[in-house]
């Protein structure tokens, strides 16, 4: 994929180290000045950022064509809803549990199909996503509440000591999780696992011949991606205090796909920008009702035309090893 | 003429016993035996379509032979996954170069270090001391390999942006980064000009002496085969038709008739 | 026993719609390897245009061409105009993105699909529209307990004819060979003097036109159309194409028919609610054991 | 440049979020949350129009609280839970909104009503029939439409007797509304099933958005039902009936209250629609009440047709009852209004008949009628 030298813009911004604190400042102050409605928009922006980061592991890093990622998102949300409403398990404990449930499901379902390539894998993931959604609607064993979904989920918190129930608390909760996930992914990108994923994306056969266990690394990316999507499902379910099948359609998977592509494959800041576009755009243009989706579709086409590498493409180069100790990295070329 | 080959006394490190590979009716390779002795440069030659690359792919785990056994240092590696074979010490390059185009040369060579490092998800996420040390060591080894093939200046350029000859050497550097005991090269000199081929021959001969590595290569360039090979095996139509030292092969009638015969009217 | 036969016919009817749409789909997909999400919306657009022509032009059409003539005319108008839209979408949304690779093209296709779907809603309104009942022959045939409508037979026959014609064009004519060559290797085909733009023009007119005709047929058969129906049919067409094997036009045809039969089987003998789950499970099983679809050739990885 | 644009729009959001504390709001603002876009855009559109007409009629009569005008503020929730919650948050954030009419679709109303409850704002559902919505002990949630179980009970009482049907087939469409009604009907029939008077010979769902139901209908035909009850929406109902008649199913068809309207007759065609029945609250055209007459004439005058389903009328009644409560209590405080609606409102004349609420906020005394499509395609009360 064409990777032109990063444009003048990204280099200026990258070098300006002072920019990071500015962003943090705005993020921290924003909820205290905006009304609840705008805090909630930022909350759902956070949810889509988390979902974008989770799909980025599978699609951005390893180049696996996954159009059914909303299935893992649904599993996380329903695991939380069912276990909380029926067994009263505290929701904060269910965050890791729903991530595990989605990861386990991904492992079981993806193992037999991980060898598929390109479009064949794509249709299987679509099928998987639809199977999950339809199973939720058909209410097996009377667990998922069918089309009505499951409602009445408690708020996360430590007993009555500290309960996350207001928009501001949810805002900081989601963005704390997004921050941790992003930090984790940036570290993974610079580790041998992250590089192994990129080798597989570039040329699967060559990666195998270079000594990389292609199958296990693909599976790892699906399992990790599913876990993060499961966690996002947990936080989403808790915020809406309930879940229903309408929120986990094939269109949600397409939105996640767009976030990674429009933002930039394998680029954490890019995914955040992609998530901003996908979540803020419809809300800002809500008043235009019918016409906003026309503009949304057009912008998607234009983005791919002018920035096929994404809004903020991943910068390759020696920076990939900069944090390592030892000799100065300046190339003497 | 090459020095007397350490041929017969050195142990056999790679042996294929009657391997057969069939692609939907076409028998690409039929009960083919090959033995490679430690520390030698062994060449596999033959006209196009003789099945050379298929043998390579069977040895390196890309294909699974329908029949026959492949032994490496005595252990049966038939049908193992490619990455397990690399871990055992067989590294390879490809006939048409397969690099990681959108990644830097250093990252390409780092791929070879993957099977020699062990940091797991936990270590990578929390950058434990062990992981940092291992990464630093891996970068150092990769940088040595890149200097060894003379690509130090291009280490931060993207693999797709460097010259064709450099790409060949980069692929070899990646293979060497796995610290192999057997280096399997698929037509390394194809596309190189005569001077680059000379450099490659010197590089390989020097490699044999400096490191305990054995080289098995497929080659069409006769003066390279004759120049550096200790042992030559000739294939035609998926079968072995001759083997021996370069001088024996050069005068072997069957080889000439099957292979070099066609070469006579070619201007060398 | 008759029930089983009747169900088979029901399955084949659904299957023939999927097959026709899958045909149009896999022509674009076979050559450009582009998952053309917008194809479902070409189908919807064709259906709405057919509706408009039939509703406003019905008096004029039936007087000049008679009942069936009117329907044919509506289908023709729909096909031509959707073909033009197809070319426009290709020129504006897809052509600039070919060189950048497969994944960005998927986002662009999604964008085009969203745009078309909402454009139809803006023009024709969010309400369901209904093909005028008067214009549609409603004749029921009874053969020994089997209930089949004339329309069902006409559609089955028409689909088989269309499939046959397309099969002949693609497999037997020189231009068909050019299309198949471009599908296998765009650049080499161009070197052989095949004008890539001509091939693109052909597939981006015939594909959408075929979708439009199917849209009119669906409108006639079910009489109810909505602006979101393309999304569902598009997904089924993509599934049928993969089931049949990528780039294999006859494969797409059979994939569509098999998909229809699978849905019938799931709906009749398991439960209507779990029908689609059954279909997707079968698809995943097929791909596990035949990683390149039912009729896709098993290409060994060329190393 | 990209990042700067992002901050520009974030800062714009910030200042728009500032609550306007400027001049005291003269008009009494009532919020309407509905599916203006999305799959139910048509229902949302009709609800918006109905509320505009209701507000217009009140304002023509001099408004409330001695002359203050009623103003409608519409928010789109696109028929999806996430956007439903966002829309509720938006209305709750605007302090001048006295109460909200929210919304169409039970699984969208659920998250929205949670937010209205937390921020203490009266919210009245107009197209939400799921029983569970009023079993959560909410103080500020009401609904002007009926519940699934009351319609199910009416079916059990009226339909088997009318067609002296022994074998009943029930089909739903796996939507929150359709499945809820089907399950409540099955529960209502349980007594008759136990005594052997009636048996359910078919109980399954179709997939909404599908077009071809021949396979399912052939299976239904083999169960030879005496009466067939479909609890889904009119789009699928029309397809089902025309395809069913096509394959020889002759038993009477009874639809739930969202299954039959003039769209249904248009799509199914007169020869199929004729003789189809429906269990439904009183349709706009049949509302005998003077308020209904006045409302429908005003609606027809402005939009040239009357609403084709009962839900928009309930939205209009929700607006009327809020305005009535504000006028009578003279306050816009949520607790006062909620108390008034729950305890004092009883038999207040509304478009859909006398309005009263039970302790949990359900609409009291919603009559159900058995409708039938007559030969001329008119939907009339069947004797």
- Please give the domain boundaries of chain D with CATH numbers for all domains: 25-146+288-344 (3.40.50.2300), 149-280 (3.40.50.2300)
What pTM was computed for the model?
A: 0.86
Partner A contacted by C286 (CB < 8 A): no
- pLDDT exceeds 90 at position A15: no
Nearest CA to D71 out of D86, D88, D54 is that of D54
When pLDDT is cut at 50, 70 and 90, the band that residue A317 belongs to is low
Partner D contacted by C226 (CB < 8 A): yes
Return the pLDDT at C193.
85
Return the pLDDT at B248.
86
User: Region C50-63: what's the mean pLDDT?
Assistant: 80
Lowest mean pLDDT among B1-10, B89-98, D57-66: B1-10
When pLDDT is cut at 50, 70 and 90, the band that residue D50 belongs to is very high
**Helices D106-118/D176-194 angle, 10° precision:** 110
Neighbours of D41 (CB within 10 A): 21
Distance (Å, whole) CA A92 – CA B80: 45
CATH code, residues B1-89+180-268? 3.40.50.300
Q: Answer whether A35 sits within 8 Å of D136, measured CB to CB.
A: no
Mean pLDDT of chain A: 85
Is the distance from CB of A264 to CB of A314 less than 8 angstroms? Answer: yes
Which residues of chain B from 108 to 137 reach within 8 Å of chain A, CB to CB? 110-117, 119-121, 123-125, 127, 131-132, 135-136
Is the distance from CB of A67 to CB of A127 less than 8 angstroms? Answer: no
Is the distance from CB of C22 to CB of C234 less than 8 angstroms? Answer: no
Chain B CB contacts of C303 below 8 Å: 53, 57, 62, 94-95
Instruction: Look up tokens 């209507």; give the residue.
Output: C272
When pLDDT is cut at 50, 70 and 90, the band that residue A305 belongs to is confident
Domains of chain A, by residue range, sit at 34-321
Return the pLDDT at A75.
96
Return the pLDDT at D7.
58
pLDDT tens-digit map of B202-246: 999 999 888 889 999 998 888 888 889 999 998 888 888 888 888
Triad C263, C268, C274: Cα angle to 5°? 60
The count of CB pairs under 8 A between chains A and C is 131
Return the pLDDT at B254.
80
Distance (Å, whole) CA B209 – CA B228: 12
The strand pairing partners of C147, in sequence order, are: C142
Q: Answer whether D267 sits within 8 Å of C130, measured CB to CB.
A: yes
User: Region B103-129: what's the mean pLDDT?
Assistant: 90
When pLDDT is cut at 50, 70 and 90, the band that residue C28 belongs to is confident
Lowest mean pLDDT among C37-46, D155-164, D362-371: D362-371
DSSP character string of B69-88: EEEETTEE-TT--HHHHHHH
Domains of chain B, by residue range, sit at 1-89+180-268, 100-179
Is the distance from CB of D94 to CB of D120 less than 8 angstroms? Answer: no
Return the pLDDT at B265.
46
Lowest mean pLDDT among C23-37, C105-119, D45-59: C23-37
Find the CB nearest A294 among C115, C242, C276: C115
Distance (Å, whole) CA B47 – CA D62: 101
Query: What is the H or E stretch that residue B12 is in?
Result: strand B12-23
Q: Answer whether C287 sits within 8 Å of A117, measured CB to CB.
A: no
Is residue A311 helix, strand or coil? coil
The strand pairing partners of D64, in sequence order, are: D68
Please state, in angstroms and as integers, the Cα–Cα distance from residue D182 to each residue in A73, D43, D150, D186, D284, following that order: 29, 22, 12, 6, 24
Q: Where are the beta strands (DSSP E) in B148-230?
A: 182-186, 214-218
Q: Answer whether C301 sits within 8 Å of B62, measured CB to CB.
A: yes
User: Region C51-55: what's the mean pLDDT?
Assistant: 88
**Percent of residues, chain A, with pLDDT higher than 90:** 51
D271 φψ region: left (φ > 0), alpha (ψ -120 to 50), beta (else): alpha
Partner D contacted by C171 (CB < 8 A): no
Distance (Å, whole) CA A322 – CA B112: 20
- For C297, the closest chain B residue by CA position comes to B24
Is the distance from CB of B155 to CB of B62 less than 8 angstroms? Answer: no
Find the CB nearest C268 among D207, D211, D219: D219
Q: Answer whether B86 sits within 8 Å of A188, measured CB to CB.
A: no
Is residue B234 helix, strand or coil? strand
Chain C CB contacts of B53 below 8 Å: 303
pLDDT tens-digit map of C206-226: 889 989 999 998 888 888 888
When pLDDT is cut at 50, 70 and 90, the band that residue D21 belongs to is very low
Return the pLDDT at A225.
96
Return the pLDDT at B260.
55
Distance (Å, whole) CA C21 – CA A133: 25
Q: Answer whether D246 sits within 8 Å of C140, measured CB to CB.
A: yes
CA torsion sign, B254 to B255 to B261 to B262?
positive
Neighbours of chain D (3+ CB pairs under 8 A): A, C
Taking CB atoms within 8 Å and a gap of at least 24, the contacts of C198-204 are C199/C31, C200/C31, C200/C32, C200/C90, C201/C87, C202/C175, C203/C27, C203/C28, C203/C31, C203/C179, C204/C28, C204/C83, C204/C86, C204/C87, C204/C89, C204/C90
Distance from CA of A178 to the nearest CA of C (A): 24
Identify from C92, C103, C244, C293 which residue to disrupt to test chain A contact, counting A C-beta atoms within 10 A and taking the largest count: C103
- For D87, the closest chain A residue by CA position comes to A37
Is the omega angle on the peptide bond into residue D103 within 30 degrees of 0, that is, cis? yes
Instruction: Look up tokens 């909404």; give the residue.
Output: D208
Q: Answer whether D267 sits within 8 Å of C128, measured CB to CB.
A: yes
Q: Answer whether A34 sits within 8 Å of D17, measured CB to CB.
A: yes
Return the pLDDT at A165.
79
When pLDDT is cut at 50, 70 and 90, the band that residue A49 belongs to is very high
Domains and CATH numbers, chain C: 2-289 (1.10.3470)
| Touching status, chains D and B (3+ beta-carbon pairs under 8 Å) | no
Find the CB nearest A37 among D81, D89, D176: D89
CATH code, residues A34-321? 1.10.3470
Q: Answer whether A9 sits within 8 Å of D6, measured CB to CB.
A: no
Distance (Å, whole) CA D105 – CA A247: 14
Lowest mean pLDDT among A143-152, A236-245, B38-47, B93-102: A143-152
Mean pLDDT of chain C: 84
pLDDT tens-digit map of D306-332: 887 788 999 999 999 999 999 888 888
D125-D126-D129-D132 Cα dihedral, nearest 10 degrees: 10
For residue D89, give both structure tokens: 């948050």
Distance (Å, whole) CA B119 – CA A192: 7
Q: Answer whether D6 sits within 8 Å of A34, measured CB to CB.
A: no
Taking CB atoms within 8 Å and a gap of at least 24, the contacts of A103-112 are A103/A223, A103/A224, A103/A226, A103/A227, A103/A230, A105/A71, A105/A72, A105/A75, A105/A226, A106/A72, A106/A222, A106/A223, A106/A225, A106/A226, A106/A227, A107/A219, A107/A222, A107/A223, A110/A219, A110/A222, A110/A223, A111/A219, A112/C288
Distance (Å, whole) CA C299 – CA B199: 38
Which residues of chain B from 84 to 103 reach within 8 Å of chain C, CB to CB? 94-95
Lowest mean pLDDT among C134-148, D136-150, D231-245: C134-148
Chain D CB contacts of C138 below 8 Å: 246, 269, 271
Query: What is the H or E stretch that residue C148 is in?
Result: strand C146-149
Chain B CB contacts of A321 below 8 Å: 106, 139
Distance (Å, whole) CA C153 – CA C151: 5
Q: Answer whether D85 sits within 8 Å of A33, measured CB to CB.
A: no
Q: Answer whether B57 sits within 8 Å of C303, measured CB to CB.
A: yes
**Residue A132 CB contacts under 8 Å (≥ 6 apart), including other chains:** A68, A71, A74, A75, A248
pLDDT tens-digit map of D248-288: 888 999 998 888 877 888 888 888 888 899 888 877 777 77
Distance from CA of A18 to the nearest CA of D (A): 14
pLDDT tens-digit map of D114-156: 899 988 999 999 989 888 889 888 999 999 988 888 888 889 9
Query: What is the H or E stretch that residue D215 is in?
Result: helix D214-222
pLDDT tens-digit map of A270-299: 999 999 999 998 888 877 777 888 888 999
- pLDDT exceeds 70 at position D6: no
- pLDDT exceeds 80 at position B29: yes
- pLDDT exceeds 50 at position A4: no
HSE-up of C211 (CA within 13 Å, CB side)? 36
- For A289, the closest chain D residue by CA position comes to D37
- For D242, the closest chain C residue by CA position comes to C222
Chain A CB contacts of D80 below 8 Å: 246-247
Return the pLDDT at A330.
38
Q: Answer whether C104 sits within 8 Å of A261, measured CB to CB.
A: yes
Partner D contacted by C11 (CB < 8 A): yes
For residue D316, give both structure tokens: 């209009």
**Percent of residues, chain D, with pLDDT higher than 70:** 93
User: Region D282-305: what's the mean pLDDT?
Assistant: 85
Mean pLDDT of chain D: 85
Please state, in angstroms and as integers, the Cα–Cα distance from residue A150 to each residue in A167, A174, B168, D279, following that order: 21, 22, 60, 28
Find the CB nearest D235 among C7, C13, C224: C224
Partner A contacted by D174 (CB < 8 A): yes
ipTM of the complex as predicted: 0.85
When pLDDT is cut at 50, 70 and 90, the band that residue C303 belongs to is low
pLDDT tens-digit map of D194-204: 998 899 999 99
For residue D302, give both structure tokens: 């402005």
Identify from D17, D34, D131 which residue to disrupt to test chain A contact, counting A C-beta atoms within 10 A and taking the largest count: D17
User: Region A37-48: what's the mean pLDDT?
Assistant: 92
Distance from CA of C101 to the nearest CA of B (A): 13
Return the pLDDT at C137.
67
User: Region B17-21: what's the mean pLDDT?
Assistant: 90
For residue A166, give both structure tokens: 């207001």
- pLDDT exceeds 90 at position D93: no
Reduced DSSP (H G I as helix, E B as strand, rest coil) percent helix, strand, coil of chain D, to 5: 45, 15, 35
**Residue D146 CB contacts under 8 Å (≥ 6 apart), including other chains:** D129, D257, D281, D363, D366, D368
Partner D contacted by C264 (CB < 8 A): yes
Which residues of chain C from 282 to 301 reach within 8 Å of chain B, CB to CB? 300-301
User: Region A154-168: what's the mean pLDDT?
Assistant: 80
When pLDDT is cut at 50, 70 and 90, the band that residue C165 belongs to is confident
**Residue C252 CB contacts under 8 Å (≥ 6 apart), including other chains:** C19, C22, C23, C25, C26, C240, C241, C244
- For A116, the closest chain C residue by CA position comes to C291
**Percent of residues, chain C, with pLDDT higher than 70:** 95
- pLDDT exceeds 90 at position C200: no
User: Region A326-330: what's the mean pLDDT?
Assistant: 39
């Amino acid at each position: 994929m064409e990777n032109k030298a990063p444009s003048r813009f990204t280099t200026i911004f990258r070098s300006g180290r002072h920019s990071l604190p500015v962003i943090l400042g705005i993020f921290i102050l924003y909820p205290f000045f905006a009304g609840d409605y705008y805090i909630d928009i930022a909350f759902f922006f956070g949810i889509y950022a988390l979902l974008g980061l989770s799909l980025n592991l599978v699609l951005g890093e390893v180049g696996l064509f996954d159009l059914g990622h909303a299935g893992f998102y649904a599993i996380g949300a329903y695991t939380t809803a069912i276990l909380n409403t029926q067994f009263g398990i505290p929701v904060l404990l269910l965050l890791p549990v729903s991530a595990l449930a989605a990861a386990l499901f991904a492992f079981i379902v993806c193992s037999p199909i991980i060898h598929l390539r390109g479009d064949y894998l794509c249709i299987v993931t679509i099928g998987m996503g639809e199977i999950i959604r339809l199973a939720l609607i058909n209410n097996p064993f009377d667990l998922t509440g069918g089309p009505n979904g499951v409602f009445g989920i408690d708020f996360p918190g430590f007993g009555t000591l500290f309960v996350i129930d207001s928009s501001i608390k949810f805002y900081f909760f989601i963005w704390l999780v997004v921050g941790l996930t992003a930090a984790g992914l940036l570290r993974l990108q610079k580790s041998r696992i992250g590089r192994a994923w990129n080798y597989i994306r570039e040329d699967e056969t060559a990666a195998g011949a270079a000594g990389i266990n292609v199958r296990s690394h693909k599976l790892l990316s699906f399992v990790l991606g599913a876990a993060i999507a499961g966690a996002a499902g947990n936080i989403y379910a808790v915020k809406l205090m309930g879940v229903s099948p309408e929120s986990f359609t094939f269109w949600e998977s397409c939105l996640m796909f767009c976030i990674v592509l429009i933002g930039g494959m394998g680029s954490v800041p890019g995914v955040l920008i992609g998530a901003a576009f996908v979540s803020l755009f419809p809300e800002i243009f809500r008043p235009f009702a019918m016409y906003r989706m026309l503009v949304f579709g057009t912008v998607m086409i234009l983005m791919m035309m002018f920035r096929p590498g994404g809004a903020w493409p991943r910068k390759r180069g020696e920076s990939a090893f900069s944090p390592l100790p030892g000799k100065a990295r300046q190339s003497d070329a | 003429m090459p020095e007397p080959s350490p041929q017969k006394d050195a142990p056999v490190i790679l042996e294929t016993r009657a391997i057969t590979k069939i692609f939907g009716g076409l028998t690409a390779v039929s009960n083919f035996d090959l033995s490679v002795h430690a520390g030698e440069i062994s060449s596999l030659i033959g006209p196009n379509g003789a099945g050379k690359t298929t043998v390579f792919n069977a040895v390196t785990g890309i294909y699974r032979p329908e029949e026959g056994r492949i032994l490496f240092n005595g252990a049966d590696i038939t049908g193992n996954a490619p990455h397990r074979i690399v871990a055992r010490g067989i590294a390879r390059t490809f006939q048409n170069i397969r690099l990681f185009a959108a990644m830097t040369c250093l990252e390409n060579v780092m791929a070879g270090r993957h099977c020699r490092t062990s940091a797991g998800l936990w270590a990578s996420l929390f950058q434990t001391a062990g992981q940092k040390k291992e990464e630093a060591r891996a970068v150092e080894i990769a940088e040595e390999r890149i200097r060894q093939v003379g690509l130090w200046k291009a280490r931060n350029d993207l693999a797709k942006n460097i010259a064709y000859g450099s790409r060949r050497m980069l692929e070899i550097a990646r293979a060497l980064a796995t610290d192999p005991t057997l280096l399997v090269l698929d037509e390394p000199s194809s596309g190189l000009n005569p001077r680059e081929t000379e450099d490659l021959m010197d590089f390989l001969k020097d490699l044999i002496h400096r490191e305990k590595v054995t080289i098995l290569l497929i080659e069409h360039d006769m003066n390279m085969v004759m120049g550096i090979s200790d042992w030559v095996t000739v294939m035609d139509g998926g079968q072995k038709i001759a083997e021996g030292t370069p001088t024996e092969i050069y005068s072997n009638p069957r080889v000439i008739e099957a292979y070099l015969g066609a070469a006579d009217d070619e201007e060398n | 026993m008759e029930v089983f036969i009747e169900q088979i016919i029901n399955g084949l009817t659904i299957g023939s719609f999927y097959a026709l749409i899958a045909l149009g789909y896999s022509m674009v997909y076979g050559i450009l390897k582009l998952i053309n999400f917008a194809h479902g919306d070409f189908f919807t657009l064709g259906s709405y245009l057919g509706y408009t022509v039939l509703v406003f032009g019905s008096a004029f059409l039936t007087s000049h061409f008679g009942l069936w003539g009117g329907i044919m005319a509506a289908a023709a108008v729909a096909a031509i105009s959707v073909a033009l839209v197809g070319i426009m979408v290709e020129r504006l949304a897809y052509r600039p993105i070919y060189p950048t690779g497969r994944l960005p093209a998927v986002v662009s296709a999604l964008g085009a699909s969203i745009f078309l779907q909402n454009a139809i809603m803006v023009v024709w309104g969010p309400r369901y529209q209904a093909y005028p009942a008067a214009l549609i022959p409603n004749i029921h045939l009874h053969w020994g307990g089997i209930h089949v409508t004339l329309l069902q037979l006409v559609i089955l026959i028409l689909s088989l004819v269309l499939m046959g014609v397309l099969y002949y064009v693609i497999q037997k004519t020189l231009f068909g060979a050019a299309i198949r060559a471009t599908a296998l290797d765009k650049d080499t085909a161009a070197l052989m003097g095949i004008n890539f733009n001509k091939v693109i023009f052909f597939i981006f007119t015939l594909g959408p036109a075929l979708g439009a005709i199917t849209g009119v047929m669906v409108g006639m058969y079910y009489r109810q159309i909505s602006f979101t129906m393309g999304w569902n049919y598009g997904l089924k067409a993509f599934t049928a194409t993969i089931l049949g094997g990528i780039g294999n036009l006859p494969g797409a045809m059979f994939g569509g028919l098999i998909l229809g039969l699978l849905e019938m089987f799931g709906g009749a003998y398991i439960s209507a609610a779990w029908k689609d789950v059954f279909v997707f499970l079968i698809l995943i099983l097929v791909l596990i054991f035949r990683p390149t679809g039912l009729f896709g050739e098993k290409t060994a990885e060329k190393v | 440049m990209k990042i700067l644009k992002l901050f520009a729009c974030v800062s714009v959001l910030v200042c728009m979020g500032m609550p306007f504390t400027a001049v005291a709001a003269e008009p009494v603002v009532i919020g309407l949350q509905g599916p203006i876009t999305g799959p139910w855009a048509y229902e949302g559109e009709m609800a918006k129009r109905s509320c505009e007409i209701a507000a217009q009629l009140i304002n023509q009569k001099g408004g409330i609280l001695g002359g203050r005008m009623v103003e409608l503020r519409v928010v789109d929730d696109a028929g999806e839970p996430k956007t439903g919650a966002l829309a509720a948050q938006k209305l709750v954030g605007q302090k001048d909104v006295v109460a909200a009419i929210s919304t169409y679709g039970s699984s969208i109303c659920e998250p929205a009503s949670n937010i209205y409850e937390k921020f203490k704002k009266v919210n009245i559902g107009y197209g939400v029939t799921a029983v569970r919505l009023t079993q959560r002990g909410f103080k500020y949630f009401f609904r002007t439409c009926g519940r699934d179980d009351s319609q199910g009970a009416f079916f059990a009482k009226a339909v088997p007797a009318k067609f002296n049907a022994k074998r009943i087939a029930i089909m739903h469409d796996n939507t929150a509304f359709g499945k809820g009604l089907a399950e409540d009907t099955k529960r209502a029939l349980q007594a008759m099933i136990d005594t052997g008077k009636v048996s359910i010979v078919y109980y399954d769902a179709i997939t909404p958005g599908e077009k071809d139901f021949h396979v399912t209908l052939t299976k239904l035909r083999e169960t030879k039902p005496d009466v067939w009850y479909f609890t889904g929406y009119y789009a699928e109902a029309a397809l089902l009936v025309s395809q069913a008649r096509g394959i020889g199913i002759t038993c009477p068809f009874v639809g739930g209250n969202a299954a039959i309207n003039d769209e249904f007759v248009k799509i199914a065609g007169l020869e199929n629609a004729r003789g189809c029945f429906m269990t439904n609250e009183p349709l706009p055209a049949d509302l005998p009440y003077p308020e209904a007459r006045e409302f429908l004439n005003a609606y027809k005058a402005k939009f040239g047709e009357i609403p084709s389903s009962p839900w928009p009328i309930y939205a209009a009644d929700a607006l009327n009852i809020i305005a009535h409560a504000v006028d009578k209590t003279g306050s816009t405080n949520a607790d006062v209004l909620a108390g008034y609606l729950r305890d004092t409102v009883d038999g207040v004349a509304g478009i859909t008949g006398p309005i009263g609420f039970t302790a949990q906020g359900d609409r009291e005394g919603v009559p159900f009628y058995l409708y039938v499509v007559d030969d001329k395609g008119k939907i009339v009360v069947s004797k």
